[in-house]
């Protein structure tokens, strides 16, 4: 699958007039039909889950930190303390309509296994991650000669939890390799705004600060 | 056994204990022969009585009731002075005005389990057929039996649905049994430091405790009350062994290390040279003052028999299929009696049943007993969970406002003591 051949429709994101929710959360919420059952892996403080529940979506979460779990429980959310690498295996097949992995893939030990599990547990998966192909990253490595650090990824190489960085292009190739179908793809720029749709993939890979993908199981397995 | 000579003889007389078993310092609900408790062993037990304490006020629509299920060696005296020991209630840190189980908001009930010795019918109670204590003539009881008795009590109190059932250890087992047996009566459940079944290691420790009791010549095959004795040495040893399992290596080391008790050098004897020995002996001797030896046998047995999955064709998830109850499962990192892996297995089963479950593992080195201690992280999550459950059930601060005036609280407090 050549990147340039992909034609991926980008749905409009309803603007959040209250400013209460993050753009990428609103984008994810737009992808999910009301009444669905959703698992948010790495749900943090439960902001996205709250947004989803406010839209009639039955949400569950997994969160690594106990403080995060506590804040979620205080919001009335159902969140289990756990880890994407070790705990997804314990969920049954087809347990959810959607499984969300937001800004966490690059921090897992086994991104490929995690991705496979997401689409075993859920009929669809929504994955977002920081794009290491973003021009600022490239520039820092090319010109500065050191591992890139950005406003959103400020950690140094020796203390970063992000051990498996990838570019949008890398991710698309992985999806192809494990027979995952991309239903929608959106690249967000540095300000969380979608990169215009009519531009070719390499532009996304260059100017997308993060990628958001709606995935489903591919047809015939390899 | 010379080293146990220093386990002091009980200062509370066995008559006090026996009196408490039949005429407790608690409210009592009596059920006659027309309302037997149907036991798992096939026996209809009647008449029975259930001793219980309540705190706070039941609201008008009866939606703010929380049931606390107590652990093996505890009782219904959650937040009041204990009638036998004179000590503070075992969960005062958790239950009271402004506490996580806020008595200004919730109506809190705790009953002594069936088989216990603090006023609910058990082996220390008088058998109406003989006029003497039941002893080993008392039928074997199970965790489901305890819960069935609690359900009878709630029927008597006119409470259809509980806002929450909460408990640690054996109490947590009862919480899980509540959700499996009466899911529609449990709006939310908070099982703490527990498991859906007793492990082989746990059964082994219980067997050790029971053998210690039964090896005591004062036990007399459970008829010690007829000879005016109590197997306090055996029961103290059982308690000492049990107590070790409630702590952790790190907690014991931090508390006692290898420090000596009131001496500089070893005595070269079997005296309690080490502080940890002295502490255990104290734990043993203070326990026998308030607990009946036969009751200890029955309750440990009830825990051993507990296995929810076994009652559902071996599939744990089946016990919770379609359940609407909101769960918050809590475990502690250093608990090796009911380790986190057991709680995770429960959470997986609840997930597989699509139940609404939260789970937190609290980091602490204090072992299984952490749920009874000052562990702020545990208080925080309990409070947060109960408040969100209350909100989901339509309780708000307005609903409680009629009860929060200081006057009624003081009156309530004086009533309880």
Spans of all domains in chain B: 2-416
Q: Output the pLDDT for position A37.
A: 96
Flag if A73 and B352 touch (Cβ within 8 Å). Answer: no
- Residue A210: which pLDDT band, with cuts at 50, 70 and 90? confident
Q: Output the pLDDT for position B410.
A: 40
Residue B393 scores a pLDDT above 90: yes
Cis peptide before A115 (omega within 30 of 0): no
Q: Which residue, B24, B48, B63, B73, is CA-closest to B148?
A: B48
Strands B27-31 and B48-55: antiparallel
Distance CA B211, CA B194 (A): 24
Interface test mutation site (partner A, options B359, B364, B376, B379, max chain A beta carbons within 10 A): B359
Q: Specify burial of residue B399 (Cβ count, 10 A radius: 0-12, 13-18, 19+).
A: middle
Provide the β-strand partners of residue A60: A39, A78
Measured CA distances, A165 to A118, A176, A194 (Å)? 18, 18, 21
Residue B397 scores a pLDDT above 70: no
Measured CA distances, A160 to A45, A106, A112, A167 (Å)? 20, 10, 20, 17
- Residue B331: which pLDDT band, with cuts at 50, 70 and 90? very high
Rounded to a whole number of angstroms, the distance from the CA of A14 to the nearest CA of chain B is: 28
Chain A residue numbers with beta carbons less than 8 Å from the beta carbon of B359 are 69, 79-82
Residue A132 scores a pLDDT above 70: yes
Q: Which tens digit of pLDDT belongs to each residue from A85-129?
A: 999 998 999 999 999 998 889 999 999 999 999 999 999 999 999
Flag if A90 and B391 touch (Cβ within 8 Å). Answer: no
For B232-238, what is the mean pLDDT? 97
Q: Which residue, A27, A23, A72, A76, is CA-closest to A46?
A: A72
Q: Does B318 touch chain A (CB under 8 A)?
A: no
Any binding-site annotation on B369? yes
Distance CA B275, CA B72 (A): 26
Question: Which residues, 6+ apart, have CB-to-CB distance to B265 below 8 Å?
Answer: none
Residue B5 scores a pLDDT above 70: no
Q: Output the pLDDT for position B62.
A: 96
pTM of the model: 0.89
**Within 10 Å of residue A209's Cβ, how many Cβ atoms?**
22
Any binding-site annotation on B185? no
Flag if B358 and A77 touch (Cβ within 8 Å). Answer: yes
Chain B residue numbers with beta carbons less than 8 Å from the beta carbon of A74 are 384, 387-388
pLDDT higher at B9 or B223: B223
Flag if A80 and B392 touch (Cβ within 8 Å). Answer: no
Residue B403 scores a pLDDT above 50: no
Buried b (16+ CB within 10 A) or exposed e, B13-26: ebeebbebbeebbb
Measured CA distances, B2 to A102, B10, B269, B272 (Å)? 64, 18, 10, 11
Virtual CA dihedral for A90, A93, A94, A95, nearest 10 degrees? -30
- Residue A205: which pLDDT band, with cuts at 50, 70 and 90? confident
Catalytic residue, chosen from B120, B335, B343, B382, is B335
**What ipTM describes this predicted complex?**
0.82
Residue whose token pair is 């992909």: A6
Q: Output the pLDDT for position A197.
A: 66
Q: Which helix H or strand E contains B128, and what residues bound it?
A: none
**What CATH number does domain A3-217 carry, 3.40.50.150, 1.10.3720.10, 2.40.50.140, 3.40.640.10?**
3.40.50.150
For B358-374, what is the mean pLDDT? 96
pLDDT higher at A170 or A202: A170
Question: DSSP string of A81-125?
Answer: E--HHHHGGGSPTT-EEEEEEES-GGGSS-HHHHHHHHHHHEEEE
Interface test mutation site (partner A, options B347, B384, B387, B396, max chain A beta carbons within 10 A): B384
**Residue spans of beta strands (DSSP E) within B260-417:** 326-332, 356-362
Active site residue B368: yes
Residue B41 scores a pLDDT above 90: yes
SS3 label, residue A129 = strand
Interface test mutation site (partner B, options A45, A66, A73, A92, max chain B beta carbons within 10 A): A73
CATH 3.40.50.1820 fits B2-416, yes or no: yes
Active site residue B335: yes
For B8-21, what is the mean pLDDT? 72
Flag if B381 and A69 touch (Cβ within 8 Å). Answer: yes
Q: Output the pLDDT for position A68.
A: 94
Distance CA A74, CA B388 (A): 6
DSSP letter (8 states) at residue B47: S
Q: Output the pLDDT for position B129.
A: 95
Q: What residue spans define the domains of chain A?
A: 3-217
SS3 label, residue B91 = coil
Active site residue B9: no
Residue B6 scores a pLDDT above 50: no
Q: Output the pLDDT for position A133.
A: 85
Q: Output the pLDDT for position B402.
A: 43
Residue B2 scores a pLDDT above 80: no
Chain B residue numbers with beta carbons less than 8 Å from the beta carbon of A79 are 358-359
First to last CA, chain A: 14
Q: Output the pLDDT for position A192.
A: 76
First to last CA, chain B: 41
Question: Which residues, 6+ apart, have CB-to-CB distance to B282 below 8 Å?
Answer: none
Distance CA B100, CA B83 (A): 25
Residue whose token pair is 């602490």: B364
Flag if B359 and A76 touch (Cβ within 8 Å). Answer: no
Q: Which residue, B180, B217, B218, B213, is CA-closest to B196?
A: B180
- Report the range of poorest mean pLDDT among A179-188, B27-36, B152-161: A179-188
Q: Which tens digit of pLDDT belongs to each residue from B277-322?
A: 999 999 999 999 999 999 999 999 999 999 999 989 999 999 999 9
For A3-10, what is the mean pLDDT? 38
Question: A210 and A128 in contact (C-beta within 8 Å)?
Answer: yes
Question: DSSP string of B229-268?
Answer: ---HHHHHHHHHHHHHHHS-HHHHHHHTTT-BSS-SS--S
Q: Output the pLDDT for position A23.
A: 80
CA-based torsion, B139, B145, B148, B153: positive or negative? positive
Catalytic residue, chosen from B120, B125, B169, B343, is B169
SS3 label, residue B299 = helix
- Residue B409: which pLDDT band, with cuts at 50, 70 and 90? very low
Helices (H), B159-222: 170-181, 200-215
- Report the range of poorest mean pLDDT among A65-79, A177-191, B67-81: A177-191
**Within 10 Å of residue B319's Cβ, how many Cβ atoms?**
23
SS3 label, residue B361 = strand
Please tell me the total number of residues recorded for chain A in this structure: 222
Rounded to a whole number of angstroms, the distance from the CA of A81 to the nearest CA of chain B is: 5
Q: Which residue, A98, A209, A216, A111, is CA-closest to A164?
A: A111
For B40-60, what is the mean pLDDT? 97
Look over chain B and give the mean of its residue pLDDT values, rounded to a whole number. Answer: 92
């Amino acid at each position: 699958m050549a990147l340039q051949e992909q034609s991926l429709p980008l749905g409009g994101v309803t603007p959040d007039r209250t400013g209460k929710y993050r753009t990428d959360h609103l984008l994810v919420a737009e992808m999910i039909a009301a009444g669905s059952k959703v698992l948010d892996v790495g749900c943090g403080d439960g902001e996205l889950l709250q947004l989803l529940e406010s839209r009639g979506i039955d949400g569950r979460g997994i969160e690594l930190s106990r403080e995060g779990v506590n804040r979620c429980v205080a919001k009335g959310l159902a969140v289990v303390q756990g880890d994407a690498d070790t705990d997804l295996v314990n969920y049954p097949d087809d347990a959810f309509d959607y499984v969300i992995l937001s800004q966490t893939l690059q921090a897992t030990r086994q991104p490929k296994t995690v991705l496979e599990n997401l689409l075993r547990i859920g009929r669809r998966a929504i994955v977002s991650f920081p794009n290491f192909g973003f021009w600022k990253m490239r520039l820092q490595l090319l010109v500065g000669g050191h591992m890139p650090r950005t406003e959103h990824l400020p950690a140094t190489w020796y203390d970063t939890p992000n051990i498996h960085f990838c570019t949008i292009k890398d991710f698309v190739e992985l999806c192809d390799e494990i027979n995952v179908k991309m239903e929608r793809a959106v690249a967000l720029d540095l300000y969380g705004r979608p990169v215009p749709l009519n531009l070719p993939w390499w532009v996304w890979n260059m100017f997308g600060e993060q990628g958001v993908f709606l995935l489903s199981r591919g047809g015939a397995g390899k | 056994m010379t080293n146990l000579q220093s386990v002091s003889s009980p200062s509370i007389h066995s008559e006090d204990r026996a009196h408490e078993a039949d005429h407790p310092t608690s409210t009592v609900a009596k059920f006659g022969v027309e309302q037997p408790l149907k036991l798992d062993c096939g026996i209809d037990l009647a008449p029975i009585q259930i001793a219980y304490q309540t705190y706070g006020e039941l609201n008008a629509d009866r939606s703010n009731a929380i049931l606390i299920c107590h652990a093996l060696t505890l009782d219904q005296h959650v937040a009041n002075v204990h009638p036998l020991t004179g000590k503070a209630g075992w969960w005062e840190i958790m239950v009271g005005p402004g506490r996580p189980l806020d008595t200004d908001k919730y109506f809190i009930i705790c009953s002594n389990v069936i088989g216990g010795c603090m006023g609910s019918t058990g082996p220390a109670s008088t058998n109406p057929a003989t006029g003497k204590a039941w002893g080993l003539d008392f039928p074997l009881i199970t965790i489901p039996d305890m819960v069935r008795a609690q359900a009878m009590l709630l029927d008597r109190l006119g409470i259809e649905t509980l806002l929450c059932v909460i408990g640690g250890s054996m109490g947590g087992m009862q919480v899980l049994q509540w959700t499996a047996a009466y899911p529609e009566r449990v709006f939310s459940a908070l099982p703490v430091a527990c498991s859906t079944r007793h492990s082989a290691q746990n059964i082994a420790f219980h067997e050790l405790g029971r053998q210690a009791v039964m090896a005591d010549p004062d036990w007399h095959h459970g008829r010690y009350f007829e000879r005016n004795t109590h197997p306090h040495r055996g029961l103290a040893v059982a308690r000492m062994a049990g107590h070790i399992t409630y702590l952790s290596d790190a907690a014991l080391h931090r508390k006692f290390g290898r420090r000596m008790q009131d001496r500089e050098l070893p005595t070269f004897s079997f005296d309690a040279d080490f502080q940890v020995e002295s502490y255990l002996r104290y734990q043993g001797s203070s326990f026998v003052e308030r607990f009946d030896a036969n009751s200890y046998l029955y309750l440990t047995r009830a825990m051993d028999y507990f296995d929810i999955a076994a009652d559902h064709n071996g599939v744990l998830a089946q016990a919770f299929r379609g359940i609407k109850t909101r769960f918050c499962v809590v475990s502690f990192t250093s608990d090796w009696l009911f380790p986190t892996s057991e709680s995770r297995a429960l959470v997986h089963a609840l997930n597989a049943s699509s139940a609404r479950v939260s789970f937190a593992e609290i980091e602490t080195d204090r072992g299984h007993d952490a749920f009874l201690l000052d562990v702020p992280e545990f208080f925080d999550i309990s409070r947060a969970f109960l408040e969100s459950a209350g909100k989901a059930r339509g309780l708000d601060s307005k609903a409680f406002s009629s009860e929060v005036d200081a006057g009624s609280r003081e009156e309530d407090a004086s009533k309880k003591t």
